Amino acid sequence: RRLNVSWLATLLDVLGSALAYLHEHGATHGDVSSGNVLVTADGHPVLVDLLGSVMETGTQEYAAPERLAGAPPSAAGDVYALARLLTECAGQGGTASRRLAGILADALAEDPADRPTARDLRHFHGGPRGEPSHNAVVVGHEPRRSPRPGLGTASVSHSETG
């Protein structure tokens, strides 16, 4: 089943904001996939299950090429995985799929250096700039050391009230 443009925009805004928050605090998710996005009873998407081990590659269908080749989790890999998730949710053909293809082309680049940041990606659809979405929530339950020295994270939760 395909998601409509409004739902895709919500996913891009909320999940992009959650990833931006993680990345700006020296952490990565490592496994952005349909199995790690839950929707609350009131319809808010939540990104769950931060990757527990740098040895895991994440969900194959969403993993960036460099992750499949054995590279550690990265912000660019998370952006690629988010773009794959959104592409899957849009389905084939239709207005949403066509709109999304233009927005996500750079995020699906083979070279991680060519991909936008999560914050930049969520702005491409015309979303708000600046602070993370008030609906951004990331929940993790396994400790994992950040790739940046001196930073570690067991879980990250970010939820602002407006």
The per-residue pLDDT for range 88-119, each reduced to its tens digit, is: 999 888 888 888 888 899 999 999 999 999 99
Whole-prediction pTM value? 0.77
Query: What's the pLDDT at 136?
Result: 44
Question: Is residue 77 within 8 Å of 67, Cβ to Cβ?
Answer: yes
Query: What's the pLDDT at 96?
Result: 80
Place of tokens 């009230």: 161
Question: Is residue 83 within 8 Å of 102, Cβ to Cβ?
Answer: no
The per-residue pLDDT for range 5-38, each reduced to its tens digit, is: 889 989 999 999 999 999 999 999 999 999 999 9
Task: Enter the tokens of residue 87.
Answer: 């592409």
Beta strand 144-145 pairing with 152-153: antiparallel
Between CA 134 and CA 161 the distance in angstroms is 6
Question: Is residue 116 within 8 Å of 124, Cβ to Cβ?
Answer: yes
Question: Is residue 130 within 8 Å of 140, Cβ to Cβ?
Answer: no
Instruction: Report in angstroms the alpha-carbon separations of 15 from 44, 65, 70.
Output: 10, 21, 24
Question: What's the distance, CA 25 to chain centroid?
Answer: 15
Query: What's the pLDDT at 143?
Result: 33
The per-residue pLDDT for range 54-68, each reduced to its tens digit, is: 567 789 999 999 999
